[in-house]
């Protein structure tokens, strides 16, 4: 049985990956610092003996050494990240600390324990079937015009401190593959939605505010366009990349599902039977990218993954979750 060190597993996407994991095939060690968006309640139903939780920081190299020393780690999946653009504008430093330095600490530790000849710093030979999977975002590509799609070959042009920190981490991962031969993959996903997301992001914020008849703040004119992907589809794609991804490759993961923010807000209000009078247009955030959209043809054609959820069924499921959750 293979063991995965999964970082940030108490967060939205990481916890979904754990909940849907096949524990007859993979043990999971979940390393999470439990900052504001990490909730152990997200994993309250995970009671399998092949699951272990460790509270800690991915920047803590001594802790990483202990984990690798005491466990036969086969894979690292790095979900751990500061991920909210607004927060990155207010406090960029923590994004550099976690997203860049934390990723580097994980990379260095993986190299140390995975090399076939650990005492040979020039060796590019690694133990069989090890892999480092970096979970990234389409925001590293910057901004699209009214047409076009992000491809894996699209140059990175991040526009926020958050996306710049993620692009930096991606470049480190690629550099460690090229320079040291570390077996890696990078995934870049579009906007996720679904159950257990912390209500600072668009969809859960609009749902939870609407349920309380509170104002729904919409940036600018609300016509920013994003490609939306159900979190369960995203997690299945990550597993596909872990098991089938060609070493060194980047895979875009998208839902072929573009929506303007304001149309999502209006859809949520319609489903909940609430008035559009709750919408409150507010000053746009600095540097707000206008449109993202993903070309997912590489992962669909080469690895055989495709999204299963329609947005219509996914948003109903998500709304139902927040009706019954105390998040």
Q: Give the active site residues.
A: 138-139, 162
Q: Are strands 131-137 and 225-230 parallel, antiparallel or unpaired?
A: unpaired
Residue with tokens 């526009």: 159
Within 10 angstroms of residue 137's Cβ, the number of other Cβ atoms is: 22
Which of the 8 DSSP states describes residue 100?
I
Q: How many residues are listed for the chain in this entry?
A: 327
Distance separating alpha carbons of residues 296 and 105, to the nearest angstrom: 30
Q: Would you say 194 and 20 are in contact if contact means Cβ atoms under 8 Å apart?
A: no
CA dihedral over 303, 3, 123, 63, signed as positive or negative: positive
Local structure of 68: helix, strand or coil: helix
How many CB atoms neighbour CB 31 within 10 A? 27
Q: Partners of 323 in the beta sheet? A: none
Cα–Cα distance, 227 to 207 (Å, whole number): 19
């Amino acid at each position: 049985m293979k063991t995965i060190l999964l970082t940030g597993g108490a967060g939205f996407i990481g916890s979904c990956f754990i909940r849907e994991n096949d524990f007859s095939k993979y043990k999971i060690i979940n390393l999470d610092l439990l900052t504001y968006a990490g909730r152990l309640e997200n994993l309250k139903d995970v009671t399998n003996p092949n699951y272990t939780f460790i509270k800690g920081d991915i920047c803590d190299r001594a802790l990483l050494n202990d984990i690798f020393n005491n466990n036969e780690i086969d894979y690292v999946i790095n979900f751990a990240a500061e991920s909210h653009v607004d927060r990155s504008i207010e406090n960029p430093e923590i994004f550099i600390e976690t997203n860049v330095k934390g990723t580097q600490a994980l990379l260095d530790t993986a190299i140390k324990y995975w090399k076939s000849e650990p005492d040979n710093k020039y060796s590019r030979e690694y133990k069989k079937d090890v892999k480092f999977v970096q979970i990234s975002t389409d925001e590293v590509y910057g901004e699209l015009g009214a047409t076009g799609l992000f491809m894996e070959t699209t140059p990175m042009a991040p526009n926020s401190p958050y996306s710049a920190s993620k692009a930096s981490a991606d470049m480190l991962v690629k550099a460690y593959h090229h320079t040291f031969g570390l077996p890696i993959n990078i995934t870049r996903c579009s906007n996720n939605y679904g159950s257990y997301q912390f209500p600072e992001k668009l969809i859960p914020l609009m749902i939870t505010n609407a349920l309380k008849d509170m104002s729904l703040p919409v940036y600018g004119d609300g016509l920013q366009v994003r490609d939306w992907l159900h979190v369960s589809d995203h997690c299945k794609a990550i597993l596909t990349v872990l098991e089938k991804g060609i070493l060194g490759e980047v895979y875009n993961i998208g839902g072929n599902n573009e929506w303007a923010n304001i149309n999502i807000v209006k859809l949520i209000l319609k489903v909940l039977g609430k008035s559009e009078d709750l919408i409150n247009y507010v000053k746009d955030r600095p540097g707000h990218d206008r449109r993202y959209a993903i070309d997912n043809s590489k992962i669909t054609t080469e690895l055989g993954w495709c999204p299963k959820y329609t947005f219509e069924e996914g948003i109903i499921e998500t709304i139902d979750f927040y009706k019954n959750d105390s998040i």
